[in-house]
Structure 1
Amino acid sequence: MLPLNANIVKIVDETPSTRTFFFDHSFEDAIIGQFVMVWIRGVDEIPMTLSYKNAITVQKVGDATSRLFDLNEGDSVGLRGPFGRGFTLPKDGENILLIAGGVGAAPLAPLAENVYPSCSQVTTILGARNVNELLFMNRFLQSGQVYITTDDGSAHRCGFVTDVLDEIDVSKYDRIYTCGPEMMMKRVFGILERESALERTEFSLHRYFKCGIGVCGACCMDEAGLRVCKDGPVFNGKELISSEFGKYARGPSGQKKLF
Structure 2
Amino acid sequence: MIREEATVLSNEPCYEGGYVIWLDAPNLAAAGHTPGQFVMVRCAAEGGDPEFSRAFSYHRAEEGRVALLYTVAGRGTAWLAGRRRGDTVSLYGPLGNGFRLPDGSGNLLLVAGGVGVAPMVDLAEVGLARGHQVTAMMGARTASQLLPASAWPSEVEYVVVTEDGSQGLRGRVTEHLDEYVAWSSRLYACGPNPMFASMAEALRQNGRRQRPEILMEENMPCGWGLCYGCAIFTRHGVRLCCKDGPRFNLFDVF
Shared fold per TM-score greater than 0.5: yes
Distance in 1 of aligned mates of 2:253 and 2:148 = 28
Distance in 2 of aligned mates of 1:126 and 1:215 = 33
Aligned CA-pair RMSD: 1.9
Distance in 2 of aligned mates of 1:126 and 1:145 = 11
Count of matched residue pairs: 240
Q: Which letter does structure 1 place at the counterpart of 2:195? A: M
TM-score, L = length of structure 2: 0.87
Out of 216, 221, 225, the residue aligned to residue 210 of structure 1 is: 221
Structure 1: tracts of 5 or more residues without a match: 242-259
Q: Relative to structure 1, is the Cα distance of residues 196 and 227 closer, same or farther in structure 2, using a 3 angstrom cutoff?
A: farther
Distance in 2 of aligned mates of 1:141 and 1:157 = 21
Q: Is the 8 A contact 1:189 1:198 kept in 2?
A: no
Q: Relative to structure 1, is the Cα distance of residues 93 and 216 closer, same or farther in structure 2, using a 3 angstrom cutoff?
A: same
Q: Is the 8 A contact 2:8 2:88 kept in 1?
A: yes
Out of 103, 123, 127, the residue aligned to residue 139 of structure 2 is: 127
Correspondence 1:57 to 2:69: yes
Q: Which letter does structure 1 place at the counterpart of 2:60? A: Y
> Larger RCO: Structure 1 or Structure 2 (Cα < 8 Å, ≥ 6 residues apart)?
2
Correspondence for 2:22:
22
Q: Which runs of 4+ in 1 moved over 4 A?
A: none
Deviation at 1:117, TM superposition (A): 4.0
SS at the partner of 1:176?
A: strand
Deviation at 1:16, TM superposition (A): 2.1
Structure 2: tracts of 5 or more residues without a match: none
TM-score, L = length of structure 1: 0.85
Q: Relative to structure 1, is the Cα distance of residues 16 and 169 closer, same or farther in structure 2, using a 3 angstrom cutoff?
A: closer
Deviation at 1:150, TM superposition (A): 1.0
Matches within 5 A, 1:14-163: 14-25=14-25, 26-28=28-30, 29-41=32-44, 42-44=48-50, 45-53=53-61, 54-140=66-152, 142-163=154-175
Q: Relative to structure 1, is the Cα distance of residues 80 and 206 closer, same or farther in structure 2, using a 3 angstrom cutoff?
A: same
* Percent identity between the two aligned chains: 32
Distance in 2 of aligned mates of 1:169 and 1:67 = 38
Distance in 1 of aligned mates of 2:40 and 2:6 = 12
SS at the partner of 1:183?
A: helix
Q: Which letter does structure 2 place at the counterpart of 1:228? A: C
1:236-256 deviation line (CA, Å, top 9, x unaligned): 123214xxxxxxxxxxxxxxx
Deviation at 1:120, TM superposition (A): 4.7
Distance in 2 of aligned mates of 1:179 and 1:85 = 14
SS at the partner of 2:118?
A: helix
**More divergent stretch after superposition (144-153 vs 6-15):** 144-153
1:56-81 deviation line (CA, Å, top 9, x unaligned): 11100011111111221111121011
SS at the partner of 1:111?
A: helix
Correspondence for 1:250:
none
Q: Is the 8 A contact 2:2 2:93 kept in 1?
A: no
SS at the partner of 1:112?
A: helix
